[in-house]
């Protein structure tokens, strides 16, 4: 009998499920979209039931359309969009739409956390309270929806909700738990001190598990619903960035991941918790047991390019658009773009900053703007890489995944702007591959995720920095780096005007 694991990648706009064999080969893959609700500026919500239905439909298609027998599916694990708040009542029923990672309504609550806890918050969690994190969302519900808060008995993150529906067992893995900023990273427990200071009942926090832990088998009810067998084992999984790092082979300190998806992530493996980025970067438990990672997030990386294309170039093929942009000169004929179109997280924790084009000139054409957007996204990643260098955290290799890894032009641009070797993967599958690897290790196919990576992760072409381009981009980056301070007050004023009018 064939044996497979399934990696469930629960993203912001769709779920993708991948069936993989013991050689790390994808034998079948299905995806299913679900809607995003933005009822007010800065709000971003989804119905948790939509994740469950989409995941179930995708798994059902693996069985019915791709011919994978349910008995062949040995294990399932998850990668999930991080930070999203799912509130459950005493019967574990959903109380309200989930508030997602890219929701920025909680600026007031973030300030309240610092007012009440101060720098001790960073000491406990390794992070500053940012709008995207889960704890500020809990406080927002407590303050703005008291009738919902009164009924809330526990909370989960997106993938944990789907896993609960599969198994009937509540839990949250450490990689996602650190992203709630309610976890004491030194003790490896929910922080009683934070809960008491912020009047959040400790009982609302779910049980903690490691990413590779078995959380149960597929329940009889879900087996009937999905077509899976009750013999299939379900493992905890991890946050999408942790799983993306596993799937990209970021398992040693000399490597950094550059991920361009809807948001952008620069992520570095950390061997222990004895680092301090003073809250500039997020610090999280890894999906690898007893290890960590740090990361900086650009809120609108691929989203900036998708926004530009959808607004100004909706009919043109995406690859053709990028190819024509590559023909424009480095620096886009003097045009700079800052990708703050939905606010920013790192290095500027600023929900109200907005993007800009600087240097617009009548000689520029459409593809100068496209190139400027791509360069601006990549400059925003360099902002994050600079924090590592300023803190003496050495690395020599950048592993690129996501949309930025699908273009030779963009890969070389990253090498030139970062002045580092950039490498892509030949079998790049993002967080879903990491989720499948977690299931494979949980089943005992491999002794560790590092051992699994030797079989599942394959590095491809290397891109070395071009010294002439490095010098030009250094000059251009010096100008880019000034834009935030020069435009912050104006940007905030314009957003205030929009909200009031």
The set of catalytic residues is: 240
Q: At what angle do helices 449-456 and 240-247 cross, to 10 degrees?
A: 60
Give 53's strand partners.
none
The answer to whether the CB of 104 falls within 8 A of the CB of 46 is no
3-state secondary structure of 470: helix
**C-alpha dist (Å) from residue 220 to 57, 63, 168, 213, 443:** 17, 17, 10, 21, 20
Secondary structure (3-state) at 74:
strand
Q: Where in 279-373 does DSSP place strands (E)? A: 282-285, 292-298, 336-338, 356-358
Bridge-based pairing state of the strands 189-190 and 238-239: unpaired
Q: Which two tokens stand for residue 219?
A: 């329940």
Q: Is 356 within 8 Å of 338 (Cβ atoms)?
A: yes
Query: Structure tokens of 421?
Result: 């070797």
Backbone angles phi, psi at 271, to 5 degrees: -75, -25
Mention every residue, 6+ apart, whose C-beta is less than 8 A from residue 405.
260, 411, 424, 425, 428
Q: Which two tokens mark 172?
A: 């949250």
How many angstroms separate the Cα of 76 from the Cα of each of 8, 162, 216?
Answer: 7, 12, 10
Q: Where are the strands (E) in 382-433, listed by range?
A: 397-402, 421-425
């Amino acid at each position: 009998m064939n044996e497979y694991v399934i990696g469930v990648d629960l993203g912001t706009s769709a779920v993708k499920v991948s069936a993989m064999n013991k050689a790390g080969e994808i034998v079948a893959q299905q995806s299913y979209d679900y809607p995003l609700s933005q009822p007010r500026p800065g709000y971003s919500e989804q119905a948790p039931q939509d994740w469950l239905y989409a995941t179930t439909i995708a798994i059902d298609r693996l069985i019915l359309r791709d011919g994978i027998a349910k008995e062949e599916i040995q294990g399932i694990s998850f990668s999930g969009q991080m930070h999203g708040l799912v509130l459950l009542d005493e019967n574990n029923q959903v109380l309200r739409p989930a508030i997602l990672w890219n929701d920025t309504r909680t600026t007031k609550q973030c300030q309240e956390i610092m007012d009440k806890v101060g720098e001790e918050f960073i000491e406990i969690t390794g992070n500053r309270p940012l709008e995207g994190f889960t704890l500020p969302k809990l406080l927002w519900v407590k303050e703005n929806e008291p009738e919902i808060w009164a009924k809330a008995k526990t909370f989960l993150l997106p993938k944990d909700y789907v896993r609960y529906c599969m198994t009937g067992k509540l839990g949250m893995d450490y990689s996602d738990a650190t992203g709630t900023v309610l976890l004491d990273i030194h003790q490896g427990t929910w922080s009683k001190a934070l809960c008491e200071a912020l009047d959040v009942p400790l009982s609302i926090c779910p049980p903690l598990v490691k990413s590779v832990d078995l959380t149960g088998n597929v329940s009889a009810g879900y087996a009937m619903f999905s077509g899976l067998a009750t013999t299939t084992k379900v493992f905890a999984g991890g946050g999408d960035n942790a799983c993306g790092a596993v799937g990209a082979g970021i398992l040693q300190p000399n490597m950094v991941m550059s991920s361009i998806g809807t948001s952008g992530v620069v992520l570095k493996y950390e061997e222990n918790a004895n680092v301090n980025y003073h809250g500039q970067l997020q610090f999280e438990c890894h999906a690898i047991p007893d290890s960590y990672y740090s990361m900086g997030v650009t809120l609108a990386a691929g989203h900036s390019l998708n926004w530009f294309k959808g607004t100004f170039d909706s009919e043109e093929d995406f690859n053709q658009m990028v190819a024509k942009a590559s023909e424009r000169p480095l620096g886009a004929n003097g045009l700079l773009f800052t990708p703050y179109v939905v606010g920013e997280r790192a290095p500027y924790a600023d929900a109200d900053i907005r993007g800009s084009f600087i240097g617009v000139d009548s000689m520029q054409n459409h593809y100068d703007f496209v190139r400027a957007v791509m360069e601006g996204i990549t400059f925003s990643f360099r902002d994050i890489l600079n924090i590592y260098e300023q803190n003496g955290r050495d690395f020599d290799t950048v592993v690129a995944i996501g949309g930025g890894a699908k273009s030779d032009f963009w890969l070389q641009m990253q090498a030139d702007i970062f002045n580092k070797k950039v490498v892509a993967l030949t079998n790049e599958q993002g967080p879903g591959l990491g989720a499948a690897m977690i299931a494979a290790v949980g089943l005992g196919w491999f002794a560790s995720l590092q051992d699994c990576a030797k079989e599942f992760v394959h590095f491809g072409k290397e891109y070395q920095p071009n010294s002439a381009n490095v010098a030009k981009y250094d000059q251009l980056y010096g100008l880019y780096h000034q834009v935030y301070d020069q435009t912050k007050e104006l940007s905030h004023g314009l957003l205030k005007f929009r909200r009031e009018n």
